[in-house]
Amino acid sequence: MKKELLKIEDLHVSAENKEILKGINLKINKGEIHVIMGPNGSGKTTTANAILNNPAYIKQSGKIMFESEDITNLSTDEIARKGIFMSFQLPEEIPGVSVTNFLKYAKNKITGEPVKIFAFKEELKKYMEELNMNSKNMERSLNVGFSGGEKKKNEILQMLVLNPKLAILDETDSGLDVDAIKTVSKGIQMFKNENNAVLIITHNTKILNSLKVDYVHVLVDGKIIKTGSQELAEEIEENGYSQYK
Amino acid sequence: MSKTKVDEINRNIYDIKNKDEYEFKIKKGLTPEIIKEISKQKNDPEWMAEFRLKALEVYNKLELPTWGPDLSELNMDEIATYVRPKSKLNNSWEDVPEDIKNTFDKLGIPEAEKTSLAGVGAQYDSEVVYHSMKEELIKQGVIYTDMETAVREYPELVKKHFMKCVPVSDHKFVALHGAVWSGGSFVYVPKGVKVDIPLQSYFRLNSPESGQFEHTLIIVDEGASLHFIEGCSAPKYNKVNLHAGCVELYVKENAYLRYSTIENWSKNMLNLNTKKAIVEKNAKMEWVSGSFGSKISMLYPMSILNGEGAKTEFTGISFAGKGQNLDNGFKVVHNSPNTSSVVNAKSISKNGGKCTYRSLVRINENAKNSKALVSCESLMLDDISISDTIPVNDIQTDEVEFSHEAKIGKISDKTIFYLMSRGLSEEDAKAMIVRGFAYPISKELPVEYAVEMNNLINLELEGAIG
């Protein structure tokens, strides 16, 4: 039996006084990988931000349920503690806070339990190896002076460490070379299991190649206009979005 | 060591008010009679009694500074300049009166003495109530004592250096200091002696409507080295208290001195402190400074690089909250070739607090091949806070490397959202950003002070979110 994780009902969202999402409906069950594709400006990033309740995005109507609980108006940190994670398109830089200390602090906030330092560092090291990350980055300030690829890998590292129930990856693949995309894919595979889910927001299909995607949604002008299987992504790769406009 | 994990502390520690009990409190105001009475109470030698009266004359001639924060609320007729606590100088904590000892206990001084310090001085109001140093340093000829004892027991050393680095004519509050100074520490490190573990003096002002005017005189002789830590705090009263201490540092040839300060005065304090170092050939002077308290602070430590190859570094942070005007900075004079100065100053302001970085870099004509690098960065936590940078650069030769970088920033909503998406509350997120901003400074502080600074940042941020 499929267990429902996230359910978005008729969500309307505006930003800077402009309506961007015009009635989104989406249901994600445990164990699934969903993909949202769409042209620039269609509302992909807005969808991710709205789920995390970024105050810069105003919800006009609609509802977001997570594990049968209404999270529409919870604060971002409460939503994160419920088990939703978002990988940022442009991760923020935090000078003076090392990757290790940041993650330890965040893990403690997410789990509500003290973090065992030795085991934690070992875990971190293991993940960094898997993601081809330089272990020196552990002690560097979070994202400061990181290359674009390092920042994105760092987001995946955070996902693995914080181990959410739902991971939303907002254009994590954009601007990455082929090898880095493979690494990100690998991170997703490591993370993914029967009890969690992934929502990938992208406009290219390379990242999907080695993943078993359950649903592909096409988002155009604030609405999901088509949902299909992995083949839909391939078709868009070939023909673009023009037929949906 | 985790820098981001911060233990809860009791904010009341700094605000413990002991009953205003004293053995002697001089009447308020500033007249020759009052100065003579201070001399009498302190058993000054004749030269010191005369010195005080001359300083008072200079004080009366000098005007208040015409720049910087408004000091008009300071009325010297309302300030008692000398308050002798009900305690003599002790070298055992057990002999320090209970209430005074409790205060220092809560500030963690005796504990730090046991674990991480080579010597401790503790001043309460106008007099030093405790002074002690490890036996092996005494054997090596290191002197660490209260200033009064130094005047009595090392008159030649004191006469030669006392208010020579900072002359009373420097400005009005130095003149005031010269007239009413009391307490403070004297340190002499003989040639070649390396003091590996820091010495620390802590200054506590308990008495309301009074002033603290401690004098710190440190001589690090040729090839010697020392780390000296200064801490200060006071409980809050409704009326103005005044701190006009004076720090004179002599760093001889090839010597090294680090002078660290954590200043946490209460927010009714006017902190008009003067600190200066004379740095000789190939010697190095490092300043580390955390300025959190005070209503008004005017504090500009100064290094005078007299000897060829002399070096100085200033690493400082100011944190101004509601009603605070912290006008801090650093001054350096390059007087010889191949000298260098590096400044890394930061400030944080919130709830309408004002931080100003005011600085002087003077490179004289003969200071060829010298280097002066200044970086100051400020962070404002809201739209009503103020941050300013007022540098004066006077460079008289082309053969120098000089740079001045200034950055003013705010915490962006995007950054807060990013951290909140990782489970941090808005308050946690802001505190983490601020601690990270302060980290380059806090890592230079002794560990327990770094922790204290993080705690202070958390305290300062509590309730910052409406």
The model's pLDDT over B164-213, given as tens digits with 9 standing for 90+, comes to 999 999 999 999 999 999 999 999 999 999 999 999 999 999 888 899 99
Please give the average per-residue pLDDT across B35-40, as a whole number. 96
Structure tokens at B191: 């040639």
Give the model confidence (pLDDT) of B341-365 as tens digits. 999 999 999 889 999 999 999 999 9
How far apart are the CA of B441 and the nearest CA of chain A, in angstroms?
10
Most A CBs within 10 A among B411, B415, B417, hence the mutation to make, goes to B417
Q: Is the pLDDT score of B24 beyond 50?
A: yes
| CB within 8 Å: A97 and B440 | no
- Side-chain half-sphere exposure of A91, counting CA atoms within 13 A: 30
**Helices and strands per DSSP (H, E), number in chain A:** 7, 12
pLDDT score for B21:
84
Q: Which helix (H) or strand (E) holds A55?
A: none
Segments in B326-425 forming alpha helices (H)? 413-420
Measured CA to CA in angstroms, residue B216 lies from B5, B182, B262 at distances of 35, 10, 15
Whose CA is closest to B148, among B61, B79, B217? B217
Q: For residues B448 and B269, what is the distance between their CA atoms, to the nearest angstrom?
A: 24
Residues of chain A with pLDDT below 50 are none
Whose CA is closest to B119, among B16, B212, B214, B189? B189
Identify which of A56, A95, A106 has the shortest CB distance to residue B422. Answer: A106
Measured CA to CA in angstroms, residue B438 lies from B118, B220, B450 at distances of 27, 30, 10
Higher pLDDT, residue B449 or B233: B233
- Which pLDDT band holds residue B3 (cuts at 50, 70, 90)? very low
> B204 with B235: CB under 8 angstroms?
no
Give the model confidence (pLDDT) of A29-85 as tens digits. 999 999 999 998 999 999 999 999 999 999 999 999 999 999 999 999 999 999 999
Cβ neighbours, 10 Å, residue B384: 12
Q: Is the pLDDT score of B67 beyond 90?
A: yes
| CB within 8 Å: B422 and A81 | no
ipTM attached to this prediction: 0.97
DSSP, res B240:
-
Q: For residues B109 and A78, what is the distance between their CA atoms, to the nearest angstrom?
A: 40
> A224 with A202: CB under 8 angstroms?
no
A56 chain-B contacts, CB cut-off 8 A? 413, 417
Burial of A70 (0-12, 13-18, 19+ CB in 10 A): exposed
Reduced DSSP (H G I as helix, E B as strand, rest coil) percent helix, strand, coil of chain B, to 5: 25, 35, 40
Q: For residues A214 and A218, what is the distance between their CA atoms, to the nearest angstrom?
A: 14
C-alpha B152: how far from chain center: 25
Measured CA to CA in angstroms, residue B72 lies from A71, A92, B75, B209, B300 at distances of 55, 45, 8, 16, 20
Higher pLDDT, residue B396 or B266: B396
Q: For residues B421 and B424, what is the distance between their CA atoms, to the nearest angstrom?
A: 7
pLDDT score for B464:
43
Identify which of A101, A110, A141 has the shortest CB distance to residue B2. Answer: A101
Give the model confidence (pLDDT) of B91-117 as tens digits. 999 999 999 999 898 888 898 888 889
Q: For residues A220 and A222, what is the distance between their CA atoms, to the nearest angstrom?
A: 6
How far apart are the CA of B367 and the nearest CA of chain A, in angstroms?
35
> A66 with A33: CB under 8 angstroms?
no
B435 chain-A contacts, CB cut-off 8 A? 96-97
Please give the average per-residue pLDDT across B365-384, as a whole number. 94
Please give the average per-residue pLDDT across B259-268, as a whole number. 90
Give the model confidence (pLDDT) of B278-337 as tens digits. 999 999 999 999 988 899 999 999 999 999 999 999 999 999 989 999 999 999 999 999
| CB within 8 Å: A96 and B435 | yes
Higher pLDDT, residue B318 or B453: B318
Q: For residues B328 and B349, what is the distance between their CA atoms, to the nearest angstrom?
A: 13
pLDDT score for B373:
97
pLDDT score for B344:
96
Q: For residues B311 and B222, what is the distance between their CA atoms, to the nearest angstrom?
A: 15
CB burial of A129-142 (b: ≥16 within 10 Å; e: otherwise) equals: eebebeeebbebbb
| CB within 8 Å: A92 and B415 | yes
Q: Are strands B354-363 and B143-146 parallel, antiparallel or unpaired?
A: unpaired
Q: Is B465 an 8 Å CB contact of chain A?
A: no
How far apart are the CA of A50 and the nearest CA of chain B, in angstroms?
12
pLDDT score for B460:
67
How far apart are the CA of B433 and the nearest CA of chain A, in angstroms?
7
Mean pLDDT of chain B: 91
3-state secondary structure of B340: strand
CB burial of A90-101 (b: ≥16 within 10 Å; e: otherwise) equals: bbbbbebbbbbb
Please give the average per-residue pLDDT across B56-84, as a whole number. 94
- Which pLDDT band holds residue B12 (cuts at 50, 70, 90)? low
pLDDT score for A119:
93
Most B CBs within 10 A among A45, A101, A110, A138, hence the mutation to make, goes to A101
> A11 with A21: CB under 8 angstroms?
yes
Q: Where are the domains of chain B?
A: 2-299, 415-466
CB burial of B267-296 (b: ≥16 within 10 Å; e: otherwise) equals: bbbbbbbbbbbbbbbbbbbbbbbbbbbbbb
**At CA A133, angle to CA A128 and CA A138, rounded to 5?**
70
A105 chain-B contacts, CB cut-off 8 A? 4-5, 424, 428, 432
